[in-house]
Chain A
Amino acid sequence: MNSNQESYSSDSLEPLLRIENLKKHFPIKGGGYFRKEKKAVMAVDDVSFTIYKGETLGLVGESGCGKSTLGRNILRLQEPTEGRVFFNNTNILLHNKHELRKLRKQMQIIYQDPFGSLNPRFTIGQIIGEMYEIHGIAKGAEKEKKVKEMLELVGLDPSRYNSYPHEFSGGQRQRVGIARALALNPTFVVADEPVSALDVSVQSQVINLLMKLKKELGLTLLFIAHGLNVVRHISDRVGVMYLGKLVELSETDNIFESPAHPYTAALLSTVPEADPRLKKERIVLKGEVPSPANPPSGCRFRTRCPLAAERCKNEMPPLVEVRSKHHVACHYPLEEGQTLKEAIASRKTGQLSL
């Protein structure tokens, strides 16, 4: 399934980015003058993982699970509450403004919204050219030449150098956003749901462009999305988030063919199958996602988990390697090849025999 396996082989791995115990809490304001008790939305809560050089790591989860916040915190577009982010073995959370500005050349972001992410008063030449001007790389005619090269690289007509963003379609604007992100030749790019605002027909074009550029430029990609099919298509490894926690992380095929976390299993059962004869049992989770301001004790998922037991209430499961290169944060992970239905059934018989 991995279509870019040439650029990524799971054995010779060199970490590019190491995220340790990253937390981002948003304090909630309000209440009376005398309410001292401070509350916070725990958008990202104690997340640790590594991104290897040259890989595409997909990050999935329902909206509000903190995946975009995580991406922004890694780039320090928001300041994390706690934790460490190592980029090439230096903790970038300790960088001062000047060092951070230098680092920006190497880490970039592609946004979800092709409308809000481009300055409406700049031409696309100015938008992409800013990157060169900010870092004092090129000016005037040289800048124009470089920008036009970038436009060509992302499949836009260089003669539209002086056009404004509103003269482009959504997919074309997303290409402008990609050109901007790649203009300085970064090593690491966060793609924050880059295709979810586009038509399905345009989505595949943009995804294929991203994959092509990734291979050509040797990028490392953190691909945030909620469309599972898209993630499966592009990612080498996939991380699943639920309510601010990373609950499962493994190679794409492992995640999609034999998920270990009950949440991942339920999430995957919602993916529509192209073949109508292939009947699939959908697992509908009960209840709603709890508020991240007041998450359940122990395992975050226990309130909706069909396998939840007493232990899940008391103990927060850590992210551990249950199978080779397959990390799960669950006390009772599914076994390889086991479906969620089977797990529920075996759990019931187990309880009866007790």
Chain B
Amino acid sequence: MEASTQTNVTSGVAVKAKKRKNTLLNRLRQNKVAYFSLWFLIVLHVVVFIGPFIWTANPEELQEVGALASWSLQHPFGTDDLGRDVFARMLHGGRVTLLVGLAAMLFSLLIGTFVGACAGFFGKVVESIFMRITEAMMAIPNFFFVLVALTVLGTSPIMVIVVIALSSWMEIARVVYGETLKWKEYEFVEAANASGAKSMRILTRYIIPQIIPSIIVSGTLTIAAAILTESAISYLGLGIQPPTPTWGNMLQNSQQYIWTAPVLGILPGAAITIAVLAYNFLGDGLRDALDPRFVKK
């Protein structure tokens, strides 16, 4: 009796362990690059968002060692052309850049999901209007749109986020639109209709939850694009204005010193590249891991 319960317990554990194997994280683990990217990004965000509380140097304050100082214990990455601590600027700049990326992504997911889901679900006039607007927006060269909008609307951080979001929701809208068209034909959606559920309930409780995997994938890829766009406009001087550091405007500052102090350019440049790459790899990995046809190799 005792022994049989024992085996029952162990087999129960075995079943649990087996179940755990099919979680998203475990499926993602099979893509080594994506899995590594995930952890890298977690570390990067922790460092950038928590780091400034530990490394308390003010990124906008001139240091005693003077301009373009080499690395030292007080200033691990040295100082920049005005004598500000580069390490502190990297942390604070990363904060701004990643925050802009995240906020722009969330905002563009919101617009894209709303437009795509409504167009797909309600059809008819709503579909025509929303999808034609989406296509019209796609026809405008993205970067050109951002430059013009920022020149007109000003360059406050909020404005930068809004403009980047407004320039990047179309892909998401189309993905969500396609998925909505697919899911709304399922019988469980018709069953909800037969139960007397209102349209909004069907859309938010029955259809959008099915699309969330696709939205997550689009989201990660959108962050990467948003970081790149923010860096590019900051580099052109249209983004977040100095003295607030971002990786993009640090890059712009450093170009005059590319021969005398190459670290000033290499650091933010590498940070942008690696963060964007990591987000792209993660997005690719998630796309595979979230695919229901995913087979374990």
A, B: real partners: yes
User: Please, how many angstroms separate the alpha-carbon atoms of A28 and B95 in the complex?
Assistant: 56
* A121 contact set on B, CB distance < 8 A: 209-210
User: Across the interface, do A109 and B210 meet the contact criterion of CB distance under 8 Å?
Assistant: no
- Inter-chain CA distance A113–B188, complex, in Å, is 10
A105 proximal to B (CB < 8 A)? yes
**Interchain CA distance A111-B187 in the complex, whole Å:** 8
Question: CB < 8 Å: which of B186, B194, B197 contacts A77?
Answer: B194
In the complex, chain B residues whose CB is within 8 Å of the CB of A24: none
* A104-B194 contact, Cβ under 8 Å, with A119-B206, A121-B209: yes
B73-124 contacts to A, CB under 8 A, are none
Chain B residues lying within 8 Å of A120, measured Cβ to Cβ, are 188, 210
- How many residues belonging to B are interface residues under a CB distance threshold of 8 Å? 16
Q: Does B201 contact A (CB under 8 A)?
A: yes
> Is the C-beta of B193 less than 8 angstroms from some C-beta in chain A?
yes
Chain A: CB-nearest residue to B210: A121
B57 partner residues in chain A, CB cutoff 8 A: none
- Is A75 positioned at the interface, with any CB of B under 8 Å from its CB? yes
As a 0/1 sequence over residues 97 to 139 of chain A, the CB contacts with chain B under 8 angstroms (1 = contact) are 0001110110111010100111111000000001100110000
Residue of A nearest to B194 (CB): A109
Residues on A with beta carbons closer than 8 Å to the beta carbon of B193: 77
A108: nearest residue on chain B (CB-CB)?
B194
Chain A contacts with B in 148-205, Cβ cutoff 8 A? 177, 180, 184
> In the bound complex, do residue A118 and residue B188 qualify as a contact, i.e. CB atoms below 8 Å apart?
yes
* A77 proximity list for chain B (CB < 8 A): 190, 193-194
Question: In the complex, which residue of chain A has the Cβ closest to the Cβ of B207?
Answer: A119
Cβ-defined contact, B191 with A109, below 8 A:
yes
- A75 touching B194, Cβ below 8 Å: yes
* A113–B196 alpha-carbon span in the complex (Å): 20
Instruction: Verify A134–B210 contact, CB threshold 8 A.
Output: no
Which residues of chain B have C-beta atoms less than 8 A from A134's C-beta? Answer: 195-197, 201
Given contacts A119-B206, A121-B209, contact A130 B187 (CB under 8 A): no
Q: When the two chains form the complex, which single residue of A102, A111, A184 contacts B191, counting CB atoms closer than 8 Å? A: A111
Q: B193 — nearest CB in chain A belongs to which residue?
A: A77
A174 to chain B, nearest CB (A): 12
- Structural contact, A130 and B188, CB atoms closer than 8 A: no
Cα–Cα, bound, A75→B194 (Å): 8
| Complex CA distance for A118 and B186, rounded to whole angstroms | 9
* Given contact pairs A119-B206, A121-B209, A121-B210, A113 touches B195 in the complex (Cβ within 8 A): no
Report yes or no: A117 in contact with B188, Cβ–Cβ below 8 A.
yes
Name B residues whose Cβ lies closer than 8 Å to a Cβ of A. Answer: 186-188, 190-198, 201, 206, 209-210
Interface residues of A (CB under 8 A from B): 75, 77, 100-102, 104-105, 107-109, 111, 113, 116-121, 130-131, 134-135, 177, 180, 184
18 A-B pairs in the complex with CB atoms less than 8 angstroms apart: A77-B194, A100-B196, A101-B198, A104-B196, A105-B196, A107-B194, A111-B191, A113-B187, A116-B186, A116-B187, A117-B187, A117-B191, A119-B188, A119-B192, A119-B206, A131-B195, A180-B195, A184-B195
A77-B193, A109-B194, A119-B188 are known contacts; what are 17 more A-B pairs with Cβ within 8 Å? A77-B194, A101-B196, A101-B198, A107-B194, A108-B195, A109-B191, A111-B187, A111-B191, A116-B186, A116-B188, A120-B188, A120-B210, A121-B210, A130-B197, A131-B195, A134-B195, A180-B191
